[in-house]
Amino acid sequence: MSKPVCYSTKAFSAVSASSPLSAAVIERRVPTATDVQIQILYCGVCHSDLHFARNEWHFTQYPAVPGHEIVGHVTAVGGGVKKFKVGDTVGVGCLVDSCRTCPDCRNGLEQFCSNMVMTYGSMDKHLGTPTLGGYAQSIVVTEDFVLRIPANLNLAAAAPLLCAGITTYSPLRNWKVGPGQKVGIIGLGGLGHMAVKFAKAFGAHVVLFTTSPSKVVDGKRVGAHEVVVSTNEPQMAAQAGTFDFILDAVSATHDLNAYLNLLKRDGHLVLVGAPAEPLPLAAFPLLFRRRSVSGSLIGGLPETQEMLDFCGKHNITSDIEMIRMDQINTAYERMLKSDVKYRFVIDMASLT
């Protein structure tokens, strides 16, 4: 494979698991016929970025550029691009390519394709080096993996929809959460606060579980009908056996079994949080009442566009705290303390 023509763009990268992120210059390919070049205006900060930058999942190659909640303007398109033109407002999430032919891809479930290419940390088919994410001034992505952002949404607040949004929308849709159901959301972070907004919009009775008593007011403000402080045993006991569905969006090790006991017969607990360490699972809460535990990974391209259009129609965005690129290391430390309301978004103008 001959290396394509490239150009340089400014970025922020980690050079090892223990080093802070710092300024770097990286290469992007000059757009090929089917590519869209995007000037990145904002990029959300997902907890996955932190897990990845610090090699907590044990597959990071350095230098590593995180960032998969990307929004910006199209600055160039290849000759064969049909869906986008220069000036369009677009987004890129966690995927930048896949095989396009396997059953998963044909069903719009590109996230499960065994050859899917993640926005960072996968092998770049063009360059033969690891893909580099959105903590950068620009990115080049094949048009089928570029999404339209509804014009009525605040662009910075729409960035987190590209990961936190679709990761919570997809399981709530897949398990058909809706009116008449009692739904629990665990953790009021980037994913959790979007899950509360979507579950409310879908018509469910929403209960937020938080370890942070200081988030009770915000939990209700973003849409929860009830907020339970999960360290409060009487509050937890009062919810036993009452939930149809619980979405677990916690980034760290925690006790799943306490939540299994809150499910009704045939209730589902779905994990979207991706803690680095395994979570112990007791048999009895599953056996009694035939409860189940599943996982869910982001969402495919058609569903991501559906989610963005739903957000446009219902005016749903993320609650954000804007940061400069050089504040990213402090932002990571705050995220580890569950101290973000409720998603950091990088103003990429700060990188110029």
Distance CA 165, CA 80 (A): 30
Q: What is the CA radius of gyration of the chain?
A: 20
Amino acid letter for position 247: L
The site partner of 307 among Zn ion, ligand NAP, none (C-beta below 5 to 8 Å per kind) is none
Binding footprint of ligand NAP, residue count (CB under 6 A): 32
**Residues near 32 by beta carbon (within 8 Å), at least 6 away in sequence:** 4, 78, 126
- Decide: is 252 part of the binding site for ligand NAP (CB under 6 A): yes
- Decide: is 242 part of the binding site for ligand NAP (CB under 6 A): no
Shortest approach of ligand NAP to residue 227 CB, angstroms? 9
- Decide: is 167 part of the binding site for ligand NAP (CB under 6 A): yes
Task: Pick between residue 74 and residue 161 the one whose CB is nearest to ligand NAP.
Answer: 161
Shortest approach of ligand NAP to residue 239 CB, angstroms? 16
> 121 to each of 29, 60, 71, 124, 312, how far by Cα in Å?
17, 6, 19, 9, 30
- Decide: is 236 part of the binding site for ligand NAP (CB under 6 A): no
Strand pairing category for 35-45 and 70-77? antiparallel
Shortest approach of ligand NAP to residue 180 CB, angstroms? 26
Q: Which stretch binds Zn ion (CB under 5 A): 17-25, 104-112, 128-136, 260-268?
A: 104-112
Q: Which stretch binds ligand NAP (CB under 6 A): 6-14, 80-88, 134-142, 160-168?
A: 160-168
Distance CA 36, CA 23 (A): 24
**Residues near 283 by beta carbon (within 8 Å), at least 6 away in sequence:** none
Q: Which stretch binds ligand NAP (CB under 6 A): 113-121, 129-137, 205-213, 279-287?
A: 205-213
- Going by C-alpha positions, the residue among 335, 340, 319, 346 that lies closest to residue 157 is 319
Task: Pick between residue 101 and residue 294 the one whose CB is nearest to ligand NAP.
Answer: 294
The site partner of 105 among ligand NAP, Zn ion, none (C-beta below 5 to 8 Å per kind) is Zn ion
With CB under 6 A as the contact rule, the residue among 273, 285, 300, 312 that binds ligand NAP is: 273
Shortest approach of ligand NAP to residue 207 CB, angstroms? 12
Distance CA 36, CA 52 (A): 26
Looking only at residues 163 through 192 of this chain, which bind Zn ion when binding is defined by CB under 5 A? 163
C-beta atoms surrounding 200 within 10 Å: 18
Looking only at residues 296 through 335 of this chain, which bind ligand NAP when binding is defined by CB under 6 A? 296-298, 335
Shortest approach of Zn ion to residue 99 CB, angstroms? 3
Tell me which H or E stretch contains 199: helix 190-201
263 contacts 240 by C-beta, under 8 angstroms: no
Looking only at residues 251 through 310 of this chain, which bind Zn ion when binding is defined by CB under 5 A? none
With CB under 6 A as the contact rule, the residue among 19, 27, 29, 51 that binds ligand NAP is: 51
How many CA atoms lie within 13 Å of 17's alpha carbon, on the beta-carbon side?
10
With CB under 6 A as the contact rule, the residue among 60, 131, 142, 210 that binds ligand NAP is: 210
φ/ψ of residue 45, rounded to 5: -110, 105
**Residues near 225 by beta carbon (within 8 Å), at least 6 away in sequence:** 200, 205, 206, 207
Residues forming contacts to ligand NAP in the complex (CB under 6 A) are 46-48, 51, 163-164, 167, 187-192, 210-212, 215, 249-252, 254, 272-275, 296-298, 335, 338, 340
What residue ranges bind Zn ion (CB under 5 A)? 46, 48, 98-99, 102, 105, 113, 163
